[in-house]
Amino acid sequence: MGTLVLPRDEDALTSRRNLLIAAGLFGAAIAVAVFDSTKAGRQTRRSWGRSRRANTYIIMLWVDIVTGVALTVCSWLYLSGTIAPSIQFFVSISTCSDHHSLVLRNITS
């Protein structure tokens, strides 16, 4: 067990069915990340060609992609049992998710 997780707390095992569903969603999320990365790469190249510096929009695009992939990978590692439950893990997932949603909201507005 991880930090601040009591020994009496039971670790919920992921069923095979749920792991297969998560694997499908993981694959879809990675496919979307590849598509987003190629689109962001083109936009970055065009923006860099115009002004020779990164603007706020480009930075937020890449932060959104990186946090999305990090959330996906951490969730998969937790579901597969590689990462043990701990307060640090849950706080980091919560913080990363918060940053992801804040950046995404600012990009779309």
Query: 28-75, pLDDT tens digit by residue?
Result: 988 998 998 999 999 999 998 898 888 888 898 898 899 888 888 988
Specify the long-range contacts of residues 39-46, CB closer than 8 Å, at least 24 apart: 40/65
Judged by DSSP in three states, 18 sits in helix
Residue range 7-21, pLDDT digits in tens = 776 667 778 898 889
Widest pairwise Cα distance in the chain: 60
For the whole model, what pTM was predicted?
0.78
On whether the CB atoms of residues 37 and 64 are closer than 8 A, the answer is no
Contacts of 24 (CB under 8 A, 6+ apart): none
